[in-house]
Copies of this chain bind each other. A is one copy, B any other.
Amino acid sequence: MDNRPIGVFDSGLGGLTAVRELRRILPGEDIIFFGDTGRVPYGSRSPHIIKEYAKQCMDFLEKQDVKMILVACGTVSSVLGEKIGEGRKIPCIGVLEPTVKAAVSATKNKNIGLIATMATVASGSYEKLTAKLMPEANFTGKGCPLFVPLVENGYFASDCEVTRLVAKDYLSAFEGKDIDTLILGCTHYPLLYNLIDSITEYKLNLIDSGKEAALGAKALLEERDMLSGWRKIGGMKFFVTDKEEGFAKLGKEFLGEELSDVTRVEIEEL
């Protein structure tokens, strides 16, 4: 048993969809969330910058005495890959491994698709891990750079014409690929679940990376006997690098609950 909080890190708001799943799956856990809202988005940046920012943010969480870090950011998880916990004293898990495992387990015809940020697709991490776990799989990845700004600006309703047009454009990359499973490789994308499900005519297994990461965190804590068993409902604290108000307001949409304890951290102090 370990009563310290779980640390969750994302470049911005998206990771709150993973926190939402954590709350559902492990309601008794305390959670400390760190969102680098002063430097979001990461998904269009180069690996060098992403690694530097991620190190600072994970260092911050480690200093908060968390028992593990869940990197609830598809971009950071992909760019760090297997090195996600390198040099850390606590276990670290990203969205990559649990998500690919879920996709490989869901597919019937072994044709798997990925939609994610440009940096995630360019990293090749999803493709490599899929090839490792299912060498005979066909993998197609498509970068969708406008999805994050669309979601962050509230354009995520299932009937939103703008986002439907953009999504149809992006999803045309899978024409002729006969995929039966599509990984939503960015933690912003669960807010587009209904829209994407409707455009793909409810035919695909949509794999939600936030949910899979939360399940991965649960498995990790169980395996190491690190669950905190006695609380009914854990507490949550949020740290961000830009203003608190905007984060708390939009964050509610992502989290499905009020964000009452939000603190701004100076970037130069990271």
Cross-chain contact A45 with B49 (CB below 8 angstroms): no
* Contact of A242 (CB < 8 Å), options: B45, B153, B165, B246: B45
Chain A contact-residue range equals 20 to 34
Q: For chain A residues 231-270, which have a beta carbon within 8 Å of chain B?
A: 241-243, 246, 267-268
Q: Interface segment, A79-87, A143-151, A176-184?
A: A143-151
User: How far is B268's CA from A267's CA once the two chains are assembled, in angstroms?
Assistant: 11
Check: A48 CB closer than 8 A to any chain B CB: yes
Cross-chain contact B161 with A165 (CB below 8 angstroms): yes
Cross-chain contact A150 with B161 (CB below 8 angstroms): no
Interface 1/0 per residue, A143-169 and B, CB below 8 Å: 001100110110100000110011001
* Contact of A162 (CB < 8 Å), options: B145, B165, B268: B165
Q: Which 8 A-B residue pairings sit nearest by Cβ, starting from the closest? A: A149-B149, A46-B243, A162-B165, A38-B49, A145-B153, A45-B242, A46-B242, A146-B153
Q: Which residues in A have some Cβ–Cβ distance to B below 8 Å?
A: 38-39, 44-46, 48-49, 52, 145-146, 149-150, 152-153, 155, 161-162, 165-166, 169, 241-243, 246, 267-268
- Give me 11 other A-B pairs in contact (C-beta within 8 A), A38-B45, A49-B241, A162-B165 excluded: A45-B242, A46-B243, A48-B243, A145-B153, A146-B149, A146-B150, A146-B153, A149-B149, A162-B162, A162-B166, A165-B165
